[in-house]
Structure 1
């Protein structure tokens, strides 16, 4: 048993599994409803036909995950601090969460946004079949996010009903992505629960923040529990996994993919390379390390308001290709391109 599984109480891990299972089933059924309603060449009519049944299905799933979170959160709190809870200070109707996203926006409007995006893509020349596939992906992501937000909101209300000063830390529900891993263990404080696509982290609630800090799931605990294939999946590639084992900063590896398109292929130096635009402005640590290594000749704008280095910040995959079997050279390049910590 890994340190990770020892830290997170079984009940909380069960909450995460149930939420994931509910999300998977809802996504499968909702996408089927959407496909049955698709009218070639008319996305608006397609969505109008599919929306009632889709929203009814998602609302039922929201009700299920919210009710489970409301009912099981007190047991999860007791599993952490092993103390009895007082009576609830208030009740909460979890059904009011049905049909709304985590930001309070109506799910109809949220999902219709994917239709508007697809229509714009088609207008720009994208094949309609590809646009429909993108709608599938967008809807799946939105459904998972809506259910996760609903569960977290219900657990928040449940915890606060026992103690208004209750606090949380983020807990992983493996398998988790790299972004979830680096956010694991983050306490509530004044910062809201930071979300990202496909995030299924859960909030572990307790009345004692110090007690919570003995249970939180750290990124290193999680990554240490993975085999090579799982680690490569979480970090994006086998090279990234190797770099992490060689001491690369986890945040830097994950943040390289912060925005879609940040990691790009190119042909340079007589070879195919992969590079990232992340952390290449004057404020980025990647910029300062590349400059310190003497690679920066000048700065340029890449269509945005920011000036970036005129040399690509190579990804670990390309660095290991260049270094070959020379480990010392690989470590030097990892440092020069800003993948190791500043103290390395």
Structure 2
């Protein structure tokens, strides 16, 4: 039987391999586009193909989450049996900000136009757009994997916590959190291109995971300066607390709605979705609205919940405040498990 660390490495390799494969597909499509037609192409077939590839990547990593958590619990001599089944498609088609993934993937085309308008040669502008596209895609797939893992943890009562596993190369914000243990329901701090992962725990303590100081020591001085800045690296080597040198939450954004801080999405909230059907049965009114493709209205043939925005998994965990039964209730309500 594989050890928990081997299982975690296997999960990491699966997610990164999926990201690489999807990005290769997207790169092949992007190479057929030109700076003067990229926006039109992204509103048409090319954009649909790119979005479909990214969604397929999200769905693939989400589908593997339940088996990964079960294997981890079994390796830790804990019950691998979940109390509910994860719905993989609930994690696909959504961007890291909770908005439509298609809209997010249209932004690189806008970036190309802006670069050209600023005087950049069209070829370089397209390279910049591809860099943006790969960043958005990789982040969306990695986020789908982490969210699915955390929901699968919530369905498995034997899983009580997770440890943050950081793979080098990594940025200072991630290194400072390496080896930290969190309750299973605590949100996962991440940033664009973050490939850190959760390792589920059946116990409160977990030996053998590299600490921030150990990861720092593995970097040579040039790498230390690149990640933490010259002055920051020098301070850490002199004995400064690594957590004080790095602001781990820098760049993390929140959304404020009706005077409350919430993470919500309207993706997967249509009448035909799992969440939409559950709200309809509960008597929620469905309002007709236009479909969206890259931020542009398509038709008025869709219906969406008129009262209840769909909470993101991390918001469910925050509101449940550690109550496992409440977590499961909310995860069912918002269509992440059945």
TM-score range, shorter chain: 0.5 to 0.7
Q: How far does residue 120 in structure 1 lie from its aligned partner after superposition?
A: 3.4
Matched, 1:111 2:108: no
Partner deviation per Cα, 1:241-300 (whole Å, 9 max, x = no partner): 5554333553465559957xxxxxxxxxxxxxxxxxxxxxxxxxxxxxxxxxxxxxxxxx
Q: Could you tell me how far 1:149 is from its partner in structure 2?
A: 0.7
Distance 2:81 2:69 in 1: 14
Q: CA deviation at 1:156?
A: 1.3
SS where residue 28 of structure 2 aligns? helix
Contact 2:166 2:178 in 1 (8 A): yes
Is the Cα–Cα contact under 8 Å of residues 35 and 123 in structure 2 kept in the other structure? no
1:187 deviation in Å? 3.7
Tell me the CA shift for residue 101 of structure 1.
Answer: 2.0
Distance of 2:142 and 2:121 partners within structure 1 = 32
Point out the more displaced range, 163-172 or 134-143: 163-172
Q: CA deviation at 1:139?
A: 0.9
Deviation at 1:215, TM superposition (A): 5.2
Does the CA contact (< 8 Å) of 1:114 and 1:138 recur in 2? yes
Secondary structure in structure 2 of the residue aligned to 1:89: coil
Shift in alpha-carbon separation, 1:236–1:51, aligned structure 2, 3 A = farther
Q: What RMSD, in angstroms, separates the aligned Cα atoms of the two structures?
A: 3.1
Number of corresponding residues: 247
Following TM superposition, by how much is the alpha carbon of 1:86 offset from its aligned partner in structure 2, in angstroms? 5.3
Mark the runs of 5 or more structure 1 residues left unpaired by the alignment.
Answer: 1-6, 260-344
The reply to whether residue 50 of structure 1 matches residue 43 of structure 2 is no
Which position in structure 1 is the counterpart of 2:31? 35
Please give the residue correspondences for 1:131-150 in structure 2 after superposition, counting only pairs within 5 Å.
131-150=125-144
- Mean alpha-carbon deviation: is it higher for 174-183 or for 195-204? 174-183
* Structural mapping, 1:193-204, within 5 Å: 193-204=188-199
The residue correspondences of 1:121-136 to structure 2 (distance < 5 A) are 121-136=115-130
Work out whether 1:180 is the aligned partner of 2:174. yes
Larger Rg: 1
Q: Which has the higher helix share?
A: 1
8 A Cα contact 2:159 2:201, kept in partner: no
Distance 1:165 1:202 in 2: 16
Q: Which has the higher contact order (CA 8 A, sep 6+)?
A: 2
1:64 corresponds, among 55, 60, 65, to: 60
Who is 2:306 aligned against? none
Change (3 A) 1:96 1:179: same
- Cα distance in 2 for partners of 1:215, 1:13 equals 14
Please give the TM-score of this superposition, normalised by the length of structure 1: 0.62
Specify every segment of 5 or more residues in structure 2 that has no aligned partner in the other structure, as ranges. Answer: 252-338
C-alpha spacing 1:60/1:86, structure 2 compared with 1 (3 Å): closer
Alpha-carbon contact 1:62-1:98 (below 8 Å) kept: yes
Q: CA deviation at 1:44?
A: 1.3
| CA-CA distance at 1:182 after TM superposition | 1.1
Whole-angstrom CA distance in 2 between matches of 1:186 and 1:126: 43
In the alignment, the residues of structure 1 paired with residue 212 and residue 20 of structure 2 have an alpha-carbon distance, to the nearest angstrom, of 25
Of 158, 161, 168, the residue aligned with 2:152 is 158
Structure 2 counterpart of 1:250: 242
Cα offset for 1:143? 1.1
1:13-71 CA-to-partner distances (Å, cap 9, x unmatched) read 221122222222322221221121x1341231132342122122222222222222221
Q: State the TM-score, normalizing by the size of structure 2.
A: 0.63
Q: CA deviation at 1:108?
A: 0.6
Match of 1:24 among 17, 20, 23: 20
* Cα distance in 2 between the residues matched to 1:62 and 1:216: 27
Counterpart CA distance in 1 for 2:16 and 2:229 is 21
Aligned structure 1 segments of 4 or more residues deviating by more than 6 angstroms = none
1:220 aligns with 2:208: no
Cα deviation for residue 169 of structure 1 reads 2.5
